[in-house]
Structure 1
Amino acid sequence: MARTEKRWHAWMSWNYEKEERWLNEQSARGLHMTKGGAFRSEFERDGTVRYTYGLSIIRAA
């Protein structure tokens, strides 16, 4: 089985909580993001660790 996998996705910037949940679900399955993108991210498989992802949003005043 390949250690690196690519996953396709599309998120709207205001729906960042959905993306956080998805990333955390991938980590629970042993997939950890190594490279993020607008529509595609790359993950490395490692079942020995689990990360918690959090995205920060900067809002204009």
Structure 2
Amino acid sequence: MAEHVTLMRNRGYKYTTQPVWLLRFDRFLQLNPALQDEPIGVMLEHWAAAKATRNHPA
């Protein structure tokens, strides 16, 4: 995930409104190495299911 963020920043994309969410998602992926070969959609489904709070899926 960190490599993707670096690549996108090099292309000019600015992560200004969601850096905390991206860091949390990155931390989740680091704790779940089995998801590394899965598509992003599957990663997000697992992340959303991991903590069912009102604001988490946002």
Question: Scaled by the length of structure 1, what TM-score is found?
Answer: 0.27
The structure with the greater share of residues assigned to helix is 2
Higher relative contact order (CA 8 A, sep 6+): 1
Question: Scaled by the length of structure 2, what TM-score is found?
Answer: 0.28
